[in-house]
Amino acid sequence: MSTEALVQFLDVQKIYPNGTAALAGVSFSIRAGEIHAICGENGAGKSTLMKILFGLEQPSAGVLRIGGKEASLRSTRDAAMAGIGMVHQHFSLVPSLTVAENISLGFEPTVGGVFFNRRAAHAFAEDLSVRYRLQIDPRATAASLSIAMKQKAEILKALARNVRLLILDEPTAVLTPAEAGELFDHLRQLKAAGVTILFISHKLKEVRAIADHITVLRAGKVSGSAPLCSLADAEVTRLAMGKLVPSVSRHADRAIGAAALQVEAVSRAARRSASRITDITLAVAQGEIVGVAGVDGAGQEGLVEVLTGDAVPDKGRVLLGGEQIGGLPKARLRALGVSHLPADRYKTGGASALSLTENAMALARRSPRLSIGQYLKSKACEVLAREMIEAYDVRCTSPRQPLGSLSGGNAQKLIAAREFSVKPRLLIAEEPTRGIDVLAASTIHGRMVDLARSGTAVLLFTSDLDELLTLSDRIVVMHDGRIVAQFISSPDLTTEEIGRAMLGLETSHA
Amino acid sequence: MSFASHIPGIVGVVNAMLRVATPILLAGLGALLSERAGVINLGLEGMMLSSALAGVVVSAYTGSALLGLLGAMTVGALLGAVLHGAVHILNTDLILSGVALNLAASAGTVMCLYWLTGEKGISSSLSSKVLPTIAIPLVRDIPLIGPVLSGRNVMTYVAFFAVPAVSMMMANTTFGLRLRAAGQDPASTAIAGVRVARIRLAALVLSGMFAGMAGAYLSMGYVSWFGANMSGGRGFIAIAAEVMGGGTAYGTGVAALVLGGAEALAVTVQSYGAPSELIQAVPYIVPVVALALYARQRQRRTAAQ
Amino acid sequence: MRKALYKRGARLCLILLVIAVVLWPVVASLDDPRGAFFTFVLGPFNDMRHFGNVLEATTPLLFTGLAVVIMFKAGAFNLGAEGAFFLGGVVATAVLLKLPLAGPLLPVVAIVAGGVIGASVCVVPAWLKASVGASELVCSLMLNYAALFIGLYIVNYHLRDPNAGAMLSYRIPLDGKLPRILAGTRVHLGLVIGLLGCALGAVYLYKTRWGYESRLVGSNPLFARHVGVRTVLVGLIAPCVGGFIAAAGGAVEIEGMYSRFSWTDLPGLGWNGLVVAILANNNPAFVPVAAVFLAYLEVGGDLLAQNFAVPAEVVGVIKALIILFSTMSIAVGNPRIKQLLVRVMPGARKLNTEVEP
């Protein structure tokens, strides 16, 4: 491993036209042949940094040097020419194309310059697969691959272009602890083959396991950059967080009441495997927070669909307070006191083009406070929105501005405010703090606990195992459409145990 | 009454079907290319109309039908580029830009016609040329299908060969691969280093070219003059044919034949005394019915899985 | 707020610029360019009759513009207003000629009947979309033409006056006509009805719960479902209401302006309604202003055509460019254009060219 700098950031800034300074002067170096980790909380600037390296954004100021020479990457093509490849968090594979076609896309082997040489493309993909020991079927279509396979295909796609620097963006977010371990093995092999790796993550434990050098970002600046062996965990956390963030934890003094939600032997066969559930039985009591863990596609989506009125169960019953709610339409569920914080906040959770007021009032539109029959009281609607903004600390200039103009964290806070403030009997929360900054996440966690304290039954679906452990009273693990394990939350419970259950390796019922 | 005595009638209907289907098929292929690239081309109607005028004007002034055809295709391609420019550079709405193009073409062709001939209705004062029909020497003597296969307009043969050509292009060329990728997942395609904007420009230009062929056929093959609004909604019917065809070249071909056949049959029925206005409504009602049936079929298929 | 006004003003200037750019070559080639230009710009105001023409032309645009706004705001991309307008006129004529009813009730019944039956041009595609998922856009475009020919069939085979020469219907009974409201012009009660409709439309969209739910669906149908709105119902109701308004507009136009049904082709007022809706930024409160503006352009074009050797179709090209430049984002997506602009107007630096991170 040489000490020669492959990539150098010299006081790089990125200021967006609306004034947000994503990077406020970043300076650090990535040495050739090392595994370099970039750490920091959501909102610290990791994404922006990576986009600049990959040609998706250009810096507003500062210099980027690659291989000693000043580089200006205006497109992903430029980045590829500079030997930079990236494995995206949400993957960049075209679903209907095969793995081989995806890998070759953009520099396809041809016959006579016009016709696509499929055979050569397949051979190339096979060759890569063998060379880097990443097993994959080049003929499979991208849509048919599992998450872990998609990631392998992504990596191969990046490697196909003769990369010097491979960027991985939060690669373990969608993997179980065991799959993450396998990924790390692959990364070590790549390092041995001479590839420099840039590993972006906010999970310190993983960074420790794999990286040589770490750079910590905080609020758009580098707060520290050093070889990992020289930094203790506490030191890294301090560099990343700066100030103390109020921690939220469930307390034993929360009263747990009668059963609110009862799911009894519910099954649903569906075309999509992620929607398939078999023989699900669980109960959530008033004031209880039950967390659901599982890898992507283990059936959580199917359960959510049944509970939120998007699908009808084939077998079994769903009861809320003793009443049958399985198969009822969404409007009815809302009337019965079911709230839902969806995973995709801009797709389902809100309308980006409409104002904060129009988003906030959506659930309370029939209440006498906001409407008399059909007539809407505009003033009252705005007052309601202001109350929510105040209570949830939503940073905005006016309730009239569109939802899309808020940052992810603030938008999520407003959406949470809307769903929580109707005092539901049951709250179904999906990935409530995914991709938002630490302060906003803390606010939402606090309000969720408050909601539980006031008697709401909460069913929490999340891939963030730390969040799961912090908030839940009980944890349920799904695998392949079934519930395979239940744990009662205790200080001894580790993410490893949950991780094994997520893979179906351990079934325990506490 | 023997079967043989009906043959001329049947042949006539089949030929009418081919005649009606040709512009729809050509424009339909144009709709296919743009739609698979992720840009729905609603301006096909206006492109066809403008190309029809261009064909008439160029062939009248140059005395050559071939140059007229090329002029029509060029105009179509240019309009495709203009549409792309509006959406990509000016950030206008794709669908409304197509609508605007149609309005501009409808008004603009009348204005051009007026300036060139002093008339607003029809181009009869221009001696435009005609695209020839082709008689194939041995084929035309084959019993039954001879009179159908031989003696069709050249554009019908072009359309016939365009279908496998487009199909092969989409499946086996790198351009086709990139086009399909750009249409399905432009973000990933861009990340792979493909210039999505260029692909879309190419798709719209090709789309315009096909519309140009269809337009040239309307004013130089179907009849030999240009009349205001002579495209008569065929651009939209072509889009319907593409949807019915399930987004494939062969499917579009079959759909165009079905629609052509429906109209040809309707015209035959007219000679038995049905009101001409209702017959004229048929080419627009059949696509709606067909689209509805196709959609229902697709719905059932996805529900069953 | 100020930013929105700045955007609106800039857009209006752009539209005026576009009109000038289109007109200039046309007008410059004439013998009397100044005369032609002033005829176009000032002609519609220079006497009562011409001003009346502007108001007469505004009336149908109020209906079709409102119809398109209501449908688009609910997310229904339905272009059937053109056919609905035509069919509404046909049905109204049929009712006026065939129904033995006297007095002020006759025109009202004709409008309602025209509205209900004409609305089918919009409702059928919407229903097909809701039930089997067929494209509402394509089906509505087809049905415009179907409505034309079916309407012509009705007129030519059932309503035609054999003594009247060309393809004209019998005379509409005087009872069935809408009264004139402005002396010296042909402006009729339809103008008032249209203005009322726009006012009601604005109240409906922004002050009622149904209107709010409609806007939710138009803005994000998944979100609307999420909060319990019956999106399928909204998707059907909006084209019903919009189709009814457009068709009623056709009926009103016949009753107000014609003594016989004489349309032989789609009158193009549905497409004009689309332009009006875009100019009004899909807000019913601005539809009257946009309608007057477009009517003014049309009358100007007609005057130009009458007095100079310029075809009135020049207004068609202007309309197309208006659509184009109205939907253009002032937030120009291409950074190179912004760089160009900045060199010319330093203030352009503040323009938003990128989406938030």
Count of beta carbons in the 10 Å neighbourhood of residue A178: 15
What are the extents of the domains in chain C?
A: 53-284
CB proximity A405 to C under 8 Å:
yes
- CA C141/CA C122 separation, integer angstroms: 10
In what helix (H) or strand (E) does residue A191 lie, and over which residues does it extend? helix A177-192
Residues of A whose CB is below 8 A from B177: 97, 101, 105, 108, 116
Lowest mean pLDDT among A45-54, A117-126, A499-508, B249-258: A499-508
Inter-chain CB proximity A362 and C216 less than 8 Å = yes
Which has the closest alpha carbon to A313: A267, A270, A262? A267
Please list, residue by residue across A336-373, b when 16 or more beta carbons sit within 10 angstroms of its beta carbon and e when fewer do: ebbbbbbbebbebbbbbebbbbbbbbbbbbeeeebbee
Number of H helices and E strands in chain A, helices first, is 16, 24
Q: What three-state secondary structure class fits B153?
A: strand
Q: Residue A262 above 70 pLDDT? A: yes
ipTM for the whole complex: 0.88
Position C14 scores a pLDDT of 79
d(CA A258, nearest CA chain B) in Å? 39
Compute the mean pLDDT over every residue in chain C, rounded to the nearest whole number. 86
Residue of chain C nearest A19, judged by CA positions: C356
In chain C, the percentage of residues whose pLDDT exceeds 70 is: 91
DSSP summary character for residue B294:
H
Grade residue B249 by pLDDT with cuts at 50, 70 and 90: very high
Inter-chain CB proximity B281 and C333 less than 8 Å = no
Residue of chain B nearest C152, judged by CA positions: B277
Residues of B whose CB is below 8 A from C317: 104, 107-108, 111
Given strand A315-320, what is the order of strands in its sheet?
A277-285, A259-268, A315-320, A323-324
pLDDT digits (tens, 9 = 90+) for B122-175: 877 788 888 888 888 877 778 778 888 888 899 999 999 999 999 999 999 999
Identical fold for domains A5-93+145-241 and A254-337+425-510, yes or no, is yes
pLDDT digits (tens, 9 = 90+) for C175-198: 888 888 888 888 999 999 999 999
Mutate which of C216, C226, C237 to test chain A, going by most A C-beta atoms within 10 A?
C226
Residue of chain B nearest C333, judged by CA positions: B91
What are the extents of the domains in chain A?
A: 5-93+145-241, 254-337+425-510, 353-421
Minimum-distance CB partner of A362 among C207, C227, C351: C227
In terms of Cβ atoms closer than 10 Å to its own Cβ (0-12, 13-18, 19+), residue A409 is buried
CATH top class, domain B3-304: mainly alpha
Characterize the bridge pairing of strands A259-268 and A315-320.
Answer: antiparallel
Q: Residue C332 above 60 pLDDT? A: no
The arithmetic mean of pLDDT across residues B223-250, rounded, is 92
d(CA A166, nearest CA chain C) in Å? 23
Mutate which of B84, B87, B91 to test chain C, going by most C C-beta atoms within 10 A?
B91
In chain A, the percentage of residues whose pLDDT exceeds 70 is: 94
Q: Residue C161 above 70 pLDDT? A: yes
- What does pTM read for this prediction? 0.86
Count of beta carbons in the 10 Å neighbourhood of residue C189: 17
**Chain B: partners with 3+ C-beta pairs within 8 Å:** A, C
Residues of B whose CB is below 8 A from C328: 86, 90-92
Lowest mean pLDDT among A57-71, A213-227, A230-244, B243-257: A230-244
Compute the mean pLDDT over every residue in chain B, rounded to the nearest whole number. 91
How far CA C33 is from CA of A137, B110, C184, C304, in Å, comes to 72, 21, 30, 11
Residue of chain B nearest C156, judged by CA positions: B277
Q: Residue A510 above 80 pLDDT? A: no
Rg of chain B (C-alpha set) = 20
Position C131 scores a pLDDT of 93
Which has the closest alpha carbon to A413: A384, A383, A445? A445
Grade residue A412 by pLDDT with cuts at 50, 70 and 90: very high
d(CA C272, nearest CA chain B) in Å? 10
Q: Residue A244 above 70 pLDDT? A: no
The arithmetic mean of pLDDT across residues B85-103, rounded, is 91
Minimum-distance CB partner of C143 among B108, B288, B298: B288
Residues of B whose CB is below 8 A from C337: 89
d(CA B234, nearest CA chain C) in Å? 9
Grade residue C200 by pLDDT with cuts at 50, 70 and 90: very high
d(CA B270, nearest CA chain A) in Å? 47
CB proximity B165 to A under 8 Å:
no
Residues of B whose CB is below 8 A from A75: 193
- CA A100/CA A145 separation, integer angstroms: 13
DSSP summary character for residue A31:
E
How far CA B208 is from CA of B34, B75, B78, B213, C137, in Å, comes to 9, 8, 7, 9, 21
Inter-chain CB proximity C209 and A330 less than 8 Å = no
Residues of C whose CB is below 8 A from B280: 149
How far CA A240 is from CA of A9, A18, A234, in Å, comes to 19, 25, 10
Position C339 scores a pLDDT of 56
Minimum-distance CB partner of A271 among B191, B195, B305: B305
Helices in C74-103 by DSSP H: which ranges?
Answer: 81-98
Inter-chain CB proximity A374 and C208 less than 8 Å = yes
Of C308 and A309, the one with more pLDDT: A309
Residues of C whose CB is below 8 A from B287: 138, 142
CB proximity B84 to A under 8 Å:
no
Position C139 scores a pLDDT of 95
For the domain A5-93+145-241, what is the CATH code? 3.40.50.300
Inter-chain CB proximity B97 and C327 less than 8 Å = yes
Q: Residue C295 above 80 pLDDT? A: yes
The arithmetic mean of pLDDT across residues A173-179, rounded, is 74
Q: Residue B1 above 60 pLDDT? A: no
Q: Residue C330 above 60 pLDDT? A: no
Residue of chain A nearest B193, judged by CA positions: A77
Residue of chain A nearest B190, judged by CA positions: A76
DSSP summary character for residue A404:
G
The arithmetic mean of pLDDT across residues A170-196, rounded, is 84
Residues 6+ apart with CB under 8 A from B198: none
Mutate which of B236, B259, B296, B299 to test chain C, going by most C C-beta atoms within 10 A?
B236
Helices in C133-230 by DSSP H: which ranges?
Answer: 136-154, 190-207, 209-219, 221-226
Inter-chain CB proximity C142 and B232 less than 8 Å = no
Task: Decide if B185 contacts A94 (C-beta within 8 A).
Answer: yes
Q: Residue C100 above 90 pLDDT? A: no
Grade residue A113 by pLDDT with cuts at 50, 70 and 90: confident
Which has the closest alpha carbon to A459: A476, A482, A440? A476
Position C42 scores a pLDDT of 85
The arithmetic mean of pLDDT across residues C205-213, rounded, is 94
Inter-chain CB proximity B281 and C150 less than 8 Å = yes
Written as one string, the DSSP assignment of A242-276 is -SPPPP----TT----SEEEEEEEEEE--SSGGG-
Inter-chain CB proximity C146 and B91 less than 8 Å = no
Residues of C whose CB is below 8 A from B295: 128, 132-135
Compute the mean pLDDT over every residue in chain A, rounded to the nearest whole number. 86
| Residue A39 β-bridge partners | A201, A216
Phi-psi region at C138: left, alpha or beta (left = phi > 0; alpha = psi -120 to 50): alpha
Inter-chain CB proximity B104 and C271 less than 8 Å = no
pLDDT digits (tens, 9 = 90+) for A29-88: 999 989 999 987 777 788 888 889 988 888 888 999 998 888 888 888 888 888 898 888
Q: How many CB pairs under 8 A join A and C?
A: 78
Grade residue A270 by pLDDT with cuts at 50, 70 and 90: confident
**In terms of residues, how long is chain B?**
305
Characterize the bridge pairing of strands A115-116 and A110-111.
Answer: antiparallel
Task: Decide if B242 contacts B35 (C-beta within 8 A).
Answer: yes
CATH superfamily, with its number, for domain A254-337+425-510: P-loop containing nucleotide triphosphate hydrolases (3.40.50.300)
**Chain A: partners with 3+ C-beta pairs within 8 Å:** B, C
Token pair belonging to A27:
């300076």
Please list, residue by residue across C9-42, b when 16 or more beta carbons sit within 10 angstroms of its beta carbon and e when fewer do: eebeebbeebbeebbeebbeeeeeeeebbebbee
Task: Decide if A188 contacts A211 (C-beta within 8 A).
Answer: no
d(CA A362, nearest CA chain C) in Å? 6
Number of H helices and E strands in chain B, helices first, is 12, 2
Inter-chain CB proximity A375 and C208 less than 8 Å = yes
Residue of chain A nearest C353, judged by CA positions: A17
Of A136 and B144, the one with more pLDDT: A136
Mutate which of B291, B300, B302 to test chain C, going by most C C-beta atoms within 10 A?
B291
In chain B, the percentage of residues whose pLDDT exceeds 90 is: 62
Which has the closest alpha carbon to A100: A124, A130, A116? A124
Position C13 scores a pLDDT of 82
